[in-house]
Amino acid sequence: MEQLNTARRAAAAVLSDAGVPSPGVDADLLLCFVTGDSRAELKLRELRGENLDEAQYAQYLDLVDRRARRIPLQHLTGEGHFRYLTLQVGPGVFSPRPETESVVQVGLDFIGSLQGSRCVDLCSGSGAIAAALATELSASTVWAVELSAEAIGYTRANCEPLGVRVLHQDAAQLPVALHRTMDLVISNPPYIPPNAIPREVEVREHDPQMALYGLGSDGLRIPREVSAEALRLLRPGGMYVMEHAEVQAASAAAMLAELGFEAVTGHQDLTGRARATSGLAPLSSDRMKE
C-alpha cells in the first residue's frame, strides 16, 4: 500500500530528474491511468488520504520508470487527446499535437454552417484531423488518407467507427474521381528538413520517421506533392490548410501561391506561432498549374 499523494510526488520528482518536459502532469496522468480516475477525482482521493493497492503501486512504478526512459506518455496509456476526442495511439503512429487542433479550427471556420460538406485529411496518421471533422461538422462526408502500413490500423480504428472513409495509399495520388469534389482539404504532412533532427527524445526516437521528415533540402518535397494534389481535389473556391514548421511560414506561402492557390493566408497556433497556411482553389477554370 502506498498513499496516492506520496506516490505521485515521488513520481514527479523521478520524471523531473529524467528531464521529462511536464513531470507533474505526466505523474498525474499515469496515476489516473492506473486508478481509472479523472484528475479531479484523483485530487479528491488524495485529499482524503487514500492509497494505491499493491498491484496498482507496482504498475505505477513500472509506468513511471518507462516514462523516465522517455517513452511517450501516449504510448504508455495508448491514448491521445485531440479536440473533443480520445484517440487510440501507440508505436508506429504519430501522436497528435495541440497545434494541429488550431489547423482543424481554420477548416471548421471556413465550412461554417455549410451542410453536407466533403472534406479530406491527407497524411492522416492516427486520423485525428479526419475524426475531428467527422464529429464537428454536421452531415459531412470525410476521407482520411494514410500511406504507412504501421499507422493505417490506427487510422481505421479511430476513423471508421465515425463513418470516415479511410484510404491506405499515397496522399499525392488519389483517384481522379475525387478531383474537384472537395470543399476542404487539410493536411499535417511530414515537413521537418533533414538537418533539423528533433531535440525531444520522445519525438526523435518514437515518432515514425515517415511522419517527421518531409524530404528535400527544405523538408517541403512531400508537402509540395500533397499540396498539388489538394488543389486537384478542391472544388473551385474550396479551401486547403496545411500545417508546417514556424520557420517554413514564408516558404509554405510561396509554395501555395506558386502551385496556383489564391488568397494565401498564414495562421497562428494558440501560442502565437505561425504554424499553418491556407489557400483557396481559384474559381476560374484554368486554375491548374499541372
- Kindly state whether residue 126 participates in binding ligand SAM, applying the rule CB under 6 A: yes
Q: Which residue is nearest to ligand SAM (CB)?
A: 125
- Relative orientation angle of helices 54-68 and 4-17, to the nearest 10 degrees: 10
How near is the Cβ of 245 to ligand SAM at its closest, in Å?
Answer: 11
Q: Which of 29, 85, 129, 220 binds ligand SAM (CB under 6 A)?
A: 129
Please state at what angle helix 39-47 crosses helix 4-17, rounded to 10 degrees.
Answer: 120
Q: How far is the CB of 39 from ligand SAM (least distance, A)?
A: 23
| Cα–Cα nearest to 131, from 160, 153, 107 | 160
Residue 246, number of CB atoms within 10 A of its CB: 13
In the window 169-198, what residues touch ligand SAM (CB under 6 A)? Answer: 170-172, 188-190
- The letter for the amino acid at 113 is S
Q: Which is nearer to ligand SAM, 100 or 105 (CB)?
A: 100
Is 244 buried (19+), middle (13-18) or exposed (0-12) by CB count in 10 A?
buried
Minimum distance, C-beta of residue 261 to ligand SAM, in the bound complex (Å):
20
Binding segment for ligand SAM (CB under 6 A), chosen from 167-175, 230-238, 251-259, 282-290, is 167-175
Which of 76, 119, 184, 211 is the binder for ligand SAM (CB under 6 A)?
211
Our finding on whether 148 is near ligand SAM (CB under 6 A) is yes
Cα(68)–Cα(65) distance, integer angstroms: 5
222 part of the interface to ligand SAM, by CB under 6 A = yes
Q: According to the binding rule CB under 6 A, does residue 96 interact with ligand SAM?
A: yes
C-alpha to C-alpha distances, 156 to 90, 91, 188, nearest whole angstrom: 14, 15, 17
When asked if residue 252 is in the footprint of ligand SAM (CB under 6 A), the reply is no
Does residue number 147 form part of the binding site for ligand SAM (CB under 6 A)? Answer: yes
Residues contributing to the site for ligand SAM (CB under 6 A): 94, 96, 100, 123-126, 128-129, 145-148, 151, 170-172, 188-190, 208, 210-211, 222
